[in-house]
Chains A and B, each alone.
Chain A
């Protein structure tokens, strides 16, 4: 069964950092693009970042560029999101999402999400 399990969410103060992780199973993780997509409480979906299979192509939303860093470890079937300089508007449920072969392809498998709360 294809599965994505996020972890690392929690409550943090503005300006602090947090690192999200996603453990993948049930598919050849090292063949596919992976993404982070977030959803603020009661709001719509917002793409955060995506990374190609070999980390050679990486993209970020303007809202997080320079503050968030996406990475992956194919040997561990894991995806990461290092979040720094957190802002209240970063508060959301963060989904780990499996893409296809290039960043512009859609998302086919979604994790259940990990909640990030940013508040003083």
Chain B
């Protein structure tokens, strides 16, 4: 049981938009920045979004992040088959004194 809650899977057609939710509490998302990681099949995770909504250099603006209260959302527009991956949200939890992740969401581009 992960501290942060994500939907196990989402799907959409190429070119469409999808959102992935990440729900937490006041001790984690409610008080710290959220980051998102993309894990393509068979590879290590890669930073996609940091500080709730900032993109590292090289990450296209098709990827966006937002946060409201104790929830965060990753948005992906203009879906491509190459976007198929597992996506994880993460943040520091001040009660646990530990980093926590969501259980991961598998994106399928139909």
Contact = CB atoms under 8 A, between A and B. Distances in A.
Interface of A: 35, 37, 44-47, 50, 59-62, 95, 103-113
A29 B21 CA distance: 34
Contacts, number: 59
Given A44-B2, A45-B88, A45-B90, A111 B99 contact: no
Interface of B: 2, 32-33, 35, 37, 44-47, 50-51, 56, 86, 88, 90, 92, 96-104
A37 B88 CA distance: 13
Among A95, A104, A111, A113, find the residue whose CB has the most chain B CB atoms closer than 10 A: A104
A59 B98 contact: yes
A109 B57 CA distance: 13
Contacts of B86: 44
Given A44-B104, A45-B37, A45-B90, A108 B99 contact: no
Contacts of B92: 103-104
Contact of B98 (A61, A107, A108, A109): A61
Given A106-B35, A107-B35, A45 B44 contact: no
A34 B94 CA distance: 19
B3 to A, nearest CB: 10
A39 to B, nearest CB: 8
B47 A107 contact: yes
